[in-house]
Amino acid sequence: MGHLGINIFFEGANFLRLLGGLYVSAKIAFLSIVFGGILGIVLGVLRTLHNPLLRLLLRLYLEFFRIVPTIVLLFLFYYILPQSFNINYKADTVGTIVFSLWMAAEMSDIVRGALISVPRHQVESGKAVGLSTVQLYRYVLLPQSVHLMIPATINLMTRIIKTTSLLLLISVVDVINVGQQIIEANSHRYQDGAFWIYGFIFILYFILCYPLSRLARRLERRGKAGANG
């Protein structure tokens, strides 16, 4: 019959191993968000400059990352990159690169959207006082658009965290991978291990993402109220 399913967590180092896997997922997510976020802001600003070629190139970059499913992106980078450029990175690094680029692409759209919604007369007033382009961005555009970017950015962060679940497919030893190993190792002792382990991981993701979702929602609501003030 097997032992009571939930006890699978108390076997050996199972629980710790799961948390270790979670750490890997969280680390990749965190690094991607930071690198991708910074790159995204830069790209977003660049996309609002009046250079059609630059805007087209960056737009193509964004659309590529939007059309291609993330799973496919991971495989593209994992398999093709080593061959074409003779670089051999660990799966973790490939994952971080892919997610950073994806984060940057989406972020650039958020930043661009926020920047172009700053009322035109604000920009014109700035120009009228003689501000240079850099100063315009620094003192007028960015400060006034930041609050618009925040809820969308937080939602994006939540999406990145959720999508790290795909890393196991390029053999990153993340939380789901560890979960699978545990289930297999204990399959004859714990018949319903899968139910409990996957259920637990489900809840882990929820615990990670839910606070962020709520924060984003609260900021969005406050933003709307403030903007209409």
Partner 1 sequence: MDWTVVQNSLPMFEKGFWLTLRLSFFGIIGAGVLGLICSFIQYFKVPVLRKLVSAYVELSRNTPLLIQLFFLFYGLPQVGIKFSAEVCGIIGIIFLGGSYMAEGFSGGLAGVSKTQIESGLAIGLSRFQLARYVIFPQGLMLSVPAFAANVIFLIKETSIFTVLAIPELTNTALDLIGMYYNTNEYLFMLVVAYAIILIPLSILLTWLEKKVRYGTFGN
Residue 83: CB minimum distance to partner 1, A: 7
Q: Which is nearer to partner 1, 139 or 202 (CB)?
A: 202
**Tokens matching residue 154:** 């937080």
Q: Which is nearer to partner 1, 33 or 166 (CB)?
A: 166
Of 160, 150, 159, 162, nearest to 216 by C-alpha is 150
Q: Give CA–CA dist 33/25, Å, rounded.
A: 12
Residue 139: CB minimum distance to partner 1, A: 32
Residue 79: CB minimum distance to partner 1, A: 5
Contact assessment for residue 11 and residue 186, using Cβ atoms and an 8 Å cutoff: yes
The residue ranges that bind partner 1 (CB under 8 A) are 5, 66-72, 75-76, 79-80, 83, 158, 162-163, 165-166, 169, 176, 183, 191-199, 201-202, 205-206, 208-210, 213
Residue 199: CB minimum distance to partner 1, A: 6
Q: Which is nearer to partner 1, 126 or 153 (CB)?
A: 153
**Tokens matching residue 204:** 């882990």
Count of positions (residues) in the chain: 229
Q: Which is nearer to partner 1, 67 or 128 (CB)?
A: 67
Q: Which is nearer to partner 1, 142 or 201 (CB)?
A: 201
Please state, in angstroms and as integers, the Cα–Cα distance from residue 111 to each residue in 12, 58, 149, 186, 192, following that order.
Answer: 47, 13, 6, 48, 46
Residue 61: CB minimum distance to partner 1, A: 14
Q: Give CA–CA dist 121/201, Å, rounded.
A: 50
SS3 content of the chain, % helix, strand, coil (to 5): 85, 0, 15
Q: Which is nearer to partner 1, 123 or 156 (CB)?
A: 156
**Tokens matching residue 97:** 């690169």
Q: Give CA–CA dist 201/213, Å, rounded.
A: 18
Contact assessment for residue 161 and residue 29, using Cβ atoms and an 8 Å cutoff: yes
Residue 86: CB minimum distance to partner 1, A: 15
